[in-house]
Chains A and B, each alone.
Chain A
Amino acid sequence: MSDQEGQTAAVATAVRLAGDGPLKPLEEPRGTGGDRPDADIAPVRVVSRRFRRQRWGMFMFILPALVVYLVMVVLPSLQSLQLSLTDWDGVNSSYDYIGLRNYEEILGSGRFWNAVRNTLLLGLGSAVIINVISLVVALLLDKLNRGQGFFRTVVYLPALVSGFIAATIWKYMLNFNFGSVNTLLRDLGLGDVAQDWLGDSDLVVGVLLFIVCFTLGGNTTLIYLANLQSVPQELVEAARIDGASNAKVFRYVTWPMLAGAVTVNMTLAVIAGWTIFDQVMVLTSGGPGFVSETMAFFIYKVGFGEYRAGYGSAAAIVLFIVVIVSTVLANRYMRKREIQA
């Protein structure tokens, strides 16, 4: 039995044992009334009416959240499409339609492309780094026989702190004149190593990348750890009996089993990277100059700080397209890999 079949069987058993899952009424009559030809039909009709009622009930439960989501997220998002074609300042009730001028300006703006480059660097860079580090940490945690709970908590702790607060703490730590990092370096006689971590244009994006990875790593590690713990031990043992080394066990057994987790983690990390905002806002305000602006920060800055809501909306539409296209392409690639696995 493959692992997938095993999981399906386990789910089916769990549903049968639970007895009140949505599948139970459909399956039970088929098993018990097989000797009467019409006995199958009437209960199915009753059940399907009941099921339809239940479905309406379920729908009613999610309706309030759906309405809030539509009103607060979907409609404003659609409206930003309209606003992207205007010169609205975000305050005045009147504005003019200016066609695609905002888009033309965005695509010809060096500042925008710098923000795109930073976003790609932070998005892809953080996704790769976070996944590699998290996988290594998860493998280490998986091997621990004692204190796994403690170390799991330690690894996850940074993810519990909001990005804004974590960034504020880092801002104090990395301050050039008073920060603990530079103070420690100077006290150790390494004054030359002390840097203006958040003010040096050559360093600042790398520092942001480090902080983003530090904050977002906890969730990724836990997902890998959960998947590692569900790798069937009989496969691992069989490989070992066949003489496979640890590296080969990982390469040919564990890694393919983690394909789904890699897809989920990479997708989540890339999306988180595309929309990095808090860290930039708190740590650098996009500076020095414009050097550390990301697309999300650029949208905020022009839309709110510079009273160019139409222009900011156009940038948001471009960001949306980038996120959708890159996520779909990345997912397609990784799904193929899952099928091969």
Chain B
Amino acid sequence: MTYAMARPSSRGVGAAKPTGRGARRKAGIALAMTAVAALALTGCSTTAGADTGPADKTTIRFTYATGDETWNSVVEGVVDAFNEQSDTATVQLDPLPAGSDYATAVKTMDATGNWPALIDMRDTLTYINAGKLAPIPESVTSLLDKNVYGESSDGNVYVVPTTALNGEIGINIVYDKAYFTKHKLEVPETYDDFIDLMDEIKSNGDVPLATAAGEVWPSDQLWKPLAAPVFAEWGDEGGFWNAVQAGEASIDDLRKPLEELKRITDTYVLDGWQSTADAQTTTLLVNGQAVMATSSAGLGRLLDINKVDPDFEAGLFIIPDEDGNIDVLKNAVNGDTATGIAISSQAAEDKKEYQAAVDFLEFYFSVDTANLIEKLGMIAPNIADSDKVKRNTSIPGADDFFGLLENPNLNWYSNEPKLATFSSFNTFFRQTRIEMQDGQTTIDQAIEKAQAEFEKIAAAG
């Protein structure tokens, strides 16, 4: 965690008016107290500003959204490794605490002209259109697999992936393997199998599934696999959301997955999901309060579980569709839903800062760093030399994850919205679904409300 430098106030000095010996003494005392306070405050700061490193090093900030423990340790590990080997730059971590609102934090940075050099970017198109991001040079992109980054409409690349672009394959159901073995349960091969599995767990007197909606966004973890078959149908037609925008599809096409979502929530989900935070589902699983839990951290969630309870046997799977297909969204490499690391335009105004940011990215996409990322528990980004990367299969349950990538029923689909303000709708749609799951509105009302909001946002551009 970093803290901003404390800025000593000079008001204490100005308040004393030196008109006599006593006044001068008072002013002296005030000055001394201000100096002591300033030193004390500076001492309180756990990390220093740009002037703490060696004089010839450029210090830049890397703002990132904290998440599960694995991701946090990967960022810290890579930055430490970079700082240790670099003679020219120091990267300072600037984490956005869990639960903080990413959009607000970035807008505040923007409003105060306090952009970091490197940023873990979301709502990407909004910031590209506003000219807030700088192009990433070929010296960085040439280190990556060509399929994992994309040029913007102006021909520049603005965002590069932080981790392997395995789409939404990390949106999984993690489960208690020992429980499955004891009760002779199998990983479901179709959607009906999944429902039967939950019925069987329920008949044992246990709670089948823990999920979370306390922070709103984790509600996607149950929704997306259920909606994936509908999205996949539109994958070759330019994507579902673009079809809705063009009037060729509508939110009503999502009625079936919404009904499934409502049924699963009412019948199989552990009570209290409305206020449960994402990280708490690990505890609920390990404590035996639920046999399965939703997750969007893939391998990282398995590592978290292993840290919490090394004896816990965890496995994972993805909810299949009725035909047994495992429909998984491909990553967007462009557009509003593309995510990854970006360099800010503000940093690009200073050649040294920009160069330091580029140096870090070149380090990030090296083979050594890829191996470090794997060792720390995450799948390394798809670099050009990926065949040289040593994969980490030591995490219990990791075989399940890598097995998904090899699964013959795996069906990749695209659903990249062209709407620059899609993230506005996405937040609204999540809340509308939660409202419906909670029984405050009917499915009809939720569909009508979401459709109206989509049309309004699309009309506004």
A binding-site residues for B, Cβ under 8 Å: 87, 89-93, 105, 174-178, 196-201, 284-291, 300, 304-308
Q: Could you list some 15 contacts between A and B, CB below 8 A?
A: A91-B107, A91-B127, A176-B272, A176-B276, A196-B275, A198-B214, A199-B273, A200-B274, A201-B274, A201-B440, A287-B434, A288-B213, A288-B440, A289-B432, A304-B103
B456 x A287 contact (CB < 8 A) = no
Across chains A and B, which 10 residue pairs bring their CB atoms closest together, nearest first? A289-B435, A199-B274, A176-B272, A199-B275, A288-B274, A92-B130, A306-B424, A198-B275, A304-B104, A91-B130
Chain A CB within 8 A of B362 CB: no
Contacts of A105 in B (CB 8 A): 456
- Of the candidates B270, B272, B421, the one having the most CB atoms from chain A within 10 angstroms of its own CB is B272
Contacts of A308 in B (CB 8 A): 424
B130 x A285 contact (CB < 8 A) = no
Provide the bound-state CA to CA distance between A308 and B459, in Å. 13
Contacts of B431 in A (CB 8 A): 286-287, 289-290
Provide the bound-state CA to CA distance between A93 and B345, in Å. 14
Q: How many A-B residue pairs have CB under 8 A?
A: 106
Report if A285-B456 is in contact (Cβ < 8 Å); known contacts: A178-B283, A304-B107, A305-B103. Answer: no
Chain A CB within 8 A of B216 CB: yes
Contacts of A90 in B (CB 8 A): 107
Provide the bound-state CA to CA distance between A269 and B182, in Å. 58
B271 x A289 contact (CB < 8 A) = no
Provide the bound-state CA to CA distance between A105 and B431, in Å. 19
B binding-site residues for A, Cβ under 8 Å: 101, 103-104, 107, 110, 123, 126-127, 129-132, 213-216, 270-276, 280, 283-284, 289, 421, 423-424, 427-428, 431-432, 434-436, 438-441, 456, 460-461
Candidates B214, B273, B424; contact of A307 at CB < 8 Å = B424
B428 x A306 contact (CB < 8 A) = yes
Report if A176-B104 is in contact (Cβ < 8 Å); known contacts: A92-B130, A290-B431, A305-B427. Answer: no
Provide the bound-state CA to CA distance between A87 and B103, in Å. 18
Closest to B441 in A: A289
Provide the bound-state CA to CA distance between A66 and B129, in Å. 37
Report if A91-B126 is in contact (Cβ < 8 Å); known contacts: A289-B435, A290-B435. Answer: yes
Q: Distance in Å from the Cβ of B114 to the closest Cβ of chain A?
A: 14
B440 x A291 contact (CB < 8 A) = yes
Provide the bound-state CA to CA distance between A197 and B126, in Å. 37
Contacts of A288 in B (CB 8 A): 213, 274-275, 434-435, 438, 440
Add 19 more A-B contacts to A177-B280, A289-B440, A289-B441 (CB < 8 A).
Answer: A89-B126, A91-B107, A91-B110, A92-B129, A177-B272, A196-B275, A199-B275, A201-B440, A287-B213, A288-B274, A288-B435, A289-B432, A289-B434, A290-B431, A304-B104, A305-B101, A306-B423, A306-B428, A307-B126
Contacts of B275 in A (CB 8 A): 174-176, 196-199, 284, 288
Contacts of B129 in A (CB 8 A): 92
Contacts of B213 in A (CB 8 A): 287-288
Provide the bound-state CA to CA distance between A178 and B284, in Å. 9
Provide the bound-state CA to CA distance between A197 and B271, in Å. 12
Contacts of B424 in A (CB 8 A): 306-308
Main secondary structure of the interface of A (DSSP, over half): loop
Q: Distance in Å from the Cβ of A299 to the closest Cβ of chain B?
A: 12
Candidates A175, A178, A289; contact of B438 at CB < 8 Å = A289
B103 x A285 contact (CB < 8 A) = no
Provide the bound-state CA to CA distance between A304 and B129, in Å. 17
Q: Distance in Å from the Cβ of A184 to the closest Cβ of chain B?
A: 16
Provide the bound-state CA to CA distance between A290 and B449, in Å. 12
Candidates A178, A291, A305; contact of B104 at CB < 8 Å = A305
Provide the bound-state CA to CA distance between A90 and B108, in Å. 10
Provide the bound-state CA to CA distance between A285 and B215, in Å. 7
Provide the bound-state CA to CA distance between A288 and B441, in Å. 12
B460 x A87 contact (CB < 8 A) = yes
Q: Distance in Å from the Cβ of B427 to the closest Cβ of chain A?
A: 6
Q: Distance in Å from the Cβ of A23 to the closest Cβ of chain B?
A: 25
Q: Distance in Å from the Cβ of A96 to the closest Cβ of chain B?
A: 9
Provide the bound-state CA to CA distance between A281 and B216, in Å. 12
Closest to A101 in B: B460
Q: Distance in Å from the Cβ of A201 to the closest Cβ of chain B?
A: 5
B214 x A285 contact (CB < 8 A) = yes
Closest to A285 in B: B216
Q: Distance in Å from the Cβ of B404 to the closest Cβ of chain A?
A: 29
Q: Distance in Å from the Cβ of B429 to the closest Cβ of chain A?
A: 11
Q: Distance in Å from the Cβ of B275 to the closest Cβ of chain A?
A: 3
Closest to A197 in B: B275
Contacts of A200 in B (CB 8 A): 274
Contacts of A177 in B (CB 8 A): 270, 272, 276, 280, 284, 289
Provide the bound-state CA to CA distance between A92 and B131, in Å. 8
Q: Distance in Å from the Cβ of B450 to the closest Cβ of chain A?
A: 12
Contacts of A178 in B (CB 8 A): 280, 283
Contacts of B436 in A (CB 8 A): 289
Provide the bound-state CA to CA distance between A145 and B73, in Å. 58
Q: Distance in Å from the Cβ of A191 to the closest Cβ of chain B?
A: 11
Closest to B272 in A: A176
Closest to A302 in B: B424
Contacts of A289 in B (CB 8 A): 431-432, 434-436, 438, 440-441
A176 x B271 contact (CB < 8 A) = yes
Provide the bound-state CA to CA distance between A304 and B105, in Å. 9
Q: Distance in Å from the Cβ of B214 to the closest Cβ of chain A?
A: 7
A89 x B273 contact (CB < 8 A) = no
Q: Distance in Å from the Cβ of B222 to the closest Cβ of chain A?
A: 14
Provide the bound-state CA to CA distance between A190 and B456, in Å. 48
Report if A291-B272 is in contact (Cβ < 8 Å); known contacts: A87-B460, A92-B130, A177-B289. Answer: no
Contacts of B283 in A (CB 8 A): 178
Contacts of B441 in A (CB 8 A): 289
Closest to B111 in A: A90
Report if A287-B126 is in contact (Cβ < 8 Å); known contacts: A176-B271, A304-B101. Answer: no
A199 x B214 contact (CB < 8 A) = yes
